[in-house]
């Protein structure tokens, strides 16, 4: 699967709910996980692969391609951010749809998400640190918000400039810095 890159208008659209238990959604979810791992990501939302559905895959424990045996992706169908808490923290975030850069984003460190699994069973996932941040980032994608919209105004301008430079240098999904050469 190809990653949709910013500034594609697809990334600015609000996604439609999925039908739980749909075989096409299950197939899409598995393809998304494979794409996420191939591009060294820890999360991927359906609009990032050109599908305007409320589907996310995350795995904040296994990012390295050499750790295939440890892979345990979580598939979130129609995820809903129920709660965030904690003192907001600014940390660098990357995005497979904005390769070549990291941008400072302020988020609360703890998130609670309600979602359905691929069979349609309801679950609640709580996460802090990287998982809490990843859940918020991927749900932003489902609501049409990119990495740039989550930055403070001055940081947004700097991130957009850095992204243009990274694109001109040939940055690919999974790159967190400008390619050398």
Catalytic residue annotation: 138
> Which residues, listed in sequence order, are joined to residue 127 by a DSSP beta bridge?
111
26 vs 48: CA distance, rounded Å: 17
Q: Which residue has the tokens 């995005």?
A: 95
Q: Which residue has the tokens 């932003």?
A: 140
Q: Strand, helix or coil at 126?
A: strand
CA angle 77, 12, 45 (to 5 degrees): 30
Q: Which residue has the tokens 């594609």?
A: 8
Helix (H) or strand (E) holding 165: helix 153-168
Cis peptide before 91 (omega within 30 of 0): no
Neighbours of 100 (CB within 10 A): 23
């Amino acid at each position: 699967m190809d990653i949709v890159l910013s500034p594609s208008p697809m990334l600015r659209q609000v996604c439609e709910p999925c039908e739980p238990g749909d075989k096409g959604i299950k197939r899409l979810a598995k393809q998304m996980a494979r794409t996420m791992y191939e591009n060294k990501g820890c999360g991927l939302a359906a609009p990032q692969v050109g599908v305007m559905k409320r589907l996310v895959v995350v795995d904040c424990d296994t990012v390295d391609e050499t750790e295939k045996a440890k892979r345990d992706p979580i598939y979130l169908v129609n995820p809903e951010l129920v709660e965030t808490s904690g003192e907001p923290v600014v940390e660098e975030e990357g995005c497979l749809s904005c390769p070549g850069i990291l941008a400072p984003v302020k988020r609360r460190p703890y998130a609670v998400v309600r979602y359905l699994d691929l069979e349609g069973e309801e679950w609640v996932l709580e996460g802090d640190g990287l998982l809490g941040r990843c859940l918020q980032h991927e749900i932003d994608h489902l609501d049409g918000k990119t990495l740039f919209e989550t930055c403070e105004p001055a940081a947004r301008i700097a991130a957009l400039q850095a992204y243009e430079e990274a694109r001109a240098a040939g940055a690919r999904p999974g790159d967190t810095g400008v390619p050398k050469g």
